[in-house]
Structure 1
Amino acid sequence: MKYFEIWKPGKQVSIAVAFTCELSFILFGIEQGIAGIIITGEDFLNQFGNPTGSWLGFIVSIYTLGCFFGCIVNFFTGDMLGRRKTIAVAMCLIMVGVTLQCTSFSVAQLMVGRFITGLGTGMETSSVPMYQAELAKPHLRGRLVCSEALFVGIGLVFAYFLDFGFSYIKTPVAWRVPLSIQIPFAFIVLLMTFTVPESPRYLYFKGKKEEAKRILSYVFDKPEDHPDIVKNYQEIEEAISLETQDSDSSWKAIFVADHARTRYRIFLAYMSMFAQQLGGVNIINYYITTILIESVGLEHTLAMILGGVAVICFTVGSIIPSFFADKLGRRMPLVYGYAGCFICFLMVTILLNFQSNADLKASTGAAAVAFFFLYQLCFGASGNCIPWVYVPELIPLKYRAKGTAIGISSNWLWNFFLVEISPELISAGTRSHKQGLSYLPFVFTNFIFIFQFYFFYPETKNLTLEKIDELFSENRTIFMGLVDQRRFREGILSTAQSDIEKGTTPQSDIEKGTSEHIEIESSD
């Protein structure tokens, strides 16, 4: 797929890459935000036969099922199409799916449209973080990829308040226009894929070594014989050599033990996304309005306003890793974040069980809402962003496309499961007059995830993708969280400091985290 070098080398092309990745994740957030609120609209419900319970859950969650199959498609086609072409195909599918949704007059058409939109989103979300990670410096990579999840939150807020504004219109415009707003975002991302370069690591993997070196030079804005370019190129060569020590290169090889520990690394990637979903975030992001009406007993308009506040909290929390992930790291922020999520759901479970007590209903309901907000802040600062970094970081280059597809498929498979059961879970608590019991499962899951990330996940901040390969190949334990990673980081931070001293990377980019979102370079 040809691209047009309309951007100047270095900073300008880096901005273009960042813009493409961030905008695609805004699109992802818009779809999630829109679905969560239009299902409470009177005209939408009347148009599709007033679905309730698990049937309504399936109409919503078939999108996430499509996302899962989009990841499966990417598993088989990702190495053939490459990063850019996969993103382009994904945008085309999203535009087709959204068109079908916003012109629907039957449940069948709506569901087909949501499934096709999901196919595109699955391909997009299993490609964009990998593409960004492969074009980022090690001391900026965490913040850059985390910022994608921040832009999911921005998309959620945009969609939520767009829907809120249109909810006062009592015609089909109330839901058809908000759905269609995704099309221009997808079209812009599609156009951008024709102006940004392919990942040099992918090009090297496909045997296009000279083109890979040329792209490194273009994005890094340094001559091909510059020491930094030569060093990056050699690291890619060494990583490929390490990963190909085992002769079997078929897709089945990722499920057997090898020198690079690919199987275990993909398992860790999968479980990081499993934790993201089973922590309970999407029972809030999809159904917060329903929760506030049924579980807390608020009236519709107030529930919609407070639902918007919950989404804003989610986005505000995501700012922290988007600026500080390469200083705070990955592992311990997840440990502390899930500890906070555990406490929040524990308090929600206790407080909402007083909803049948007329004297305590108002005060305990208000306190429960506060803990929903706090949960969104805790999750946004940890489980929302960091797993998107972990997935492409953990997987070796040789299997990165397939492994990322498997890892991200976990997000969508368990998202589908959660969104499907959530309406019934909420209703069951309401029927029993023990509303808090609806949220008890998430008390246990968040408690378990604290230990999952503490014991089994290594700290990867400031490590090159190639050094992460060495970290796993030289340590055969499953308790990677207890392995000392400091010696693998030696030389990398000194290189970053050298860049500062030479003026190639401003000190403010490291300390303040302001310019890192545009200073993308191909060095790992």
Structure 2
Amino acid sequence: MKYIQFWNPGKPARNAVTFTCELAFVLFGLEQGILGIVILGQDFLNQFGHPTGSYLGIIVSLYTLGCFFGCILNYFVGPKLGRRKTIGLAMILIIIGITLQASAFTVPHFMVGRFITGLGTGMETSSVPMYQAELSKASSRGNKVSSEALFVGIGLVIAYFMDFGLSYTNGPLAWRLPISLQIPFAIVVLVSLFFIPESPRYLFINGQKEKAKEVLCYIFDREPDHPDIIESYGEIEEAVALEEIEGKYSWKRLVKKDHARTRTRVLLAYGSMFAQQLGGINLINYYITTVLVESVGLEHTLAMILGGVSTVCFTIGSLVPAFLTDRLGRRMPLVYGFFGCGFCFLMISVLLSIQGSDALQARCGAAAVGFFFLYQLIFGASGNCIPWTICAEIIPLHARAYGVPIAISSNWLWNFFVVEITPVIITDLQWKAYLIFTCTNFAFVPMFYFFYPETKGLTLEAIDKLFSENRTAFMGLVDHKKIFVDQKSESISVEKPQVDYVETA
């Protein structure tokens, strides 16, 4: 799949890569947000027989199950297709799935469409952050990968307010149109792929070493003998050399000890996505309107408006890591963030448990809504964006094409679990349901503090060094600054390549 060098070298080319990746994540947000209000529409309910409870949960969560299998599919086909072709295939699957959903007249028809859309989204979300990370500078990698999750929030905002506006229309237009409007976004991403290059690492490991160097020169607007290109190219060489030393990659490497600590790093990446989902975010993103109606007791129209405000809070919070991840770091924002999210769910549980007069319960309900908004701000600033960055950078280069899909599959497997149980626990447990997520959020605080290292400012090669030189499980207590200082010293000492370094025909 050749690309056209439409963009000027350097920043314009990198911006084109970032634009494509971020637009792909808008699709992610659209699909999550659209069904949250659509499932309450009268024509939708009439068309599909008024599904409720676990049946409704299956219809909604089948998408996330498809995403899980999309990650598994990417594990097998991603290393063969490369980053761009994988993202392109994902867009094609999404277009097919959305078309099936928008044209559905029966529940099985609709569910097949959601599953296929999920396959594409799973492939997309397990390829895009990795692709972005491999074409970013170490100094801005965190911000750029985190900004993708910001655009999930933008997709959610677009979805909620589009749904809200169309909820005043009659007939199938109210739900078929918002679902089908995802297709133009997928088409733009698909077209954009023809104007951005393949990952240089993928090219290198497939024998296209000169092509890999050309891409590095194009993306960073440097000559082949520039120290930045020498350093980046050498990083790829070192990763491939490690792969050759460790032996051919296989899934068994995930359960074996090796010099790069691959098993530990894949588990850390997997755990970050596990925490993201068990923090309860998709209880809100998928069901906020239902929650506000059934748990808080709000009128349906007001619940839809506040659901849209909730997604705005989520997006505003996500601005923080999108611009400041490379200054604030990864580890401590997650520690503080999950503590704050746990406190919000605790207060929601307390407020919704209070019994009394209608006036008292109304005031408590209003306060609970405020804590839903605060949760969205805090989660957006921490757990929404940073785990994607962790997955893209913490897994060693020699295993990234396999390890990232496995890590991202955690997002979708536990997303499926949360989305599936939410309608049931809200109905059966009421205010007690939020205590579950209070406990999980508080449990993640020590997990991130003790076991996750800080990686801000480190090159991918330096992250390898951080793990290989520190064999402890308590990576959160390791001082990453020494590695950072060593990295800076090595960078300063880089000179022009010697004759024996340059490849010859």
TM (normalized to structure 2)? 0.96
Identity %: 65
> What's the counterpart of residue 68 of structure 2?
68
Greater CA drift, 69-78 or 198-207: 198-207
Q: Which residue in 2 is equivalent to 1:502?
A: none
Between the aligned partners of 1:114 and 1:495, the Cα distance in structure 2 is 50
Please give the per-residue CA displacement for 1:104-130, whole angstroms capped at 9, x wherever unaligned: 000010000000000000000000000
Match for residue 352 of structure 2? 352
Q: Distance in 2 between matches of 1:389 and 1:3?
A: 26
Show the counterpart of 2:85. Answer: 85
Which shows bigger deviation, 350-359 or 196-205? 350-359
Alpha-carbon shift at residue 358 of structure 1 (Å): 3.1
Partner of 1:280: 280
Is the 1:28–1:121 Cα contact (8 Å) retained in structure 2?
A: yes
Give the structure 2 partner of residue 185 of structure 1.
185
Q: Distance in 1 between matches of 2:355 and 2:118?
A: 37
Q: Look up the match of 1:58.
A: 58
Instruction: Give the match for residue 445 of structure 2.
Output: 450
The match for 2:229 is: 229
The answer to whether the 8 A contact 1:261-1:472 is kept is yes
User: How far apart are the structure 1 equivalents of 2:162 and 2:120?
Assistant: 23
Confirm whether residue 467 of structure 1 aligns to residue 469 of structure 2. Answer: no
| Aligned equivalents of 2:476, 2:174: Cα separation in 1 | 49
**In the superposition, relative to structure 1, how do residues 469 and 244 fare at CA in structure 2: closer, same or farther (>3 Å)?**
farther
- 8 Å contact 1:3–1:196 — kept in the other structure? yes
C-alpha displacement at 1:15, in angstroms?
1.6
- Indicate conservation of the 8 Å contact 1:139/1:496, yes or no: no
Tell me: CA distance 1:493–1:314, structure 2 relative to 1, closer, same or farther (3 Å): farther
Residue number in structure 2 paired with 1:514: none
CA–CA separation in structure 2 for the residues paired with 1:491 and 1:236 = 19
Q: Are the aligned partners of 1:25 and 1:149 in contact in 2 as well (CA < 8 Å)?
A: yes
Aligned pair count reads 493
Amino acid paired to 1:81: L
Question: Structure 1 residue 248: deviation in Å?
Answer: 4.3
The answer for unaligned runs of 5 or more in structure 2 is: 494-505
Unaligned runs of 5+ in 1: 430-434, 499-524
CA offset digits 1:358-400 (Å, max 9, x no partner) = 3520111111110000000010000000000000111111110
**2:140 maps to amino acid:** L
1:522 alignment counterpart: none
With normalisation by structure 1, the TM-score equals 0.92
Contact kept? 1:34, 1:179, Cα under 8 Å: yes
Q: Return the offset for 1:493.
A: 5.6
CA distance in 2, matches of 1:78, 1:474: 30
Q: Which residue of 2 aligns with 1:247?
A: 247
| Shift of residue 208, structure 1, vs aligned partner | 1.6
- How far does the alpha carbon of each residue in 1:478-514 deviate from its partner, in whole angstroms, 9 at most, with x for none? 110001111111265679999xxxxxxxxxxxxxxxx
Residue identity matched to 1:459: E
Is residue 2:449 matched to residue 1:482?
Answer: no
1:251 is displaced (CA, Å) by: 3.1
Which residue of structure 2 lines up, in the alignment, with residue 95 of structure 1?
95
Whole-angstrom distance in 2 between the partners of 1:494 and 1:148? 31
Q: Does the 8 Å CA contact 1:355/1:365 hold for their aligned counterparts?
A: no
SS of 2:246 mapped into structure 1: coil
Matches within 5 A, 1:260-299: 260-299=260-299
CA contact (8 A) 1:65 1:118 kept: yes
Query: Would you say the 8 A contact 1:289–1:303 is kept in 2?
Result: yes
Match of 2:162 in 1: 162
Shift of 1:247: 2.3
CA RMSD of aligned residues (A): 1.4
Quote the Cα distance in structure 2 between the aligned partners of 1:240 and 1:325.
Answer: 28
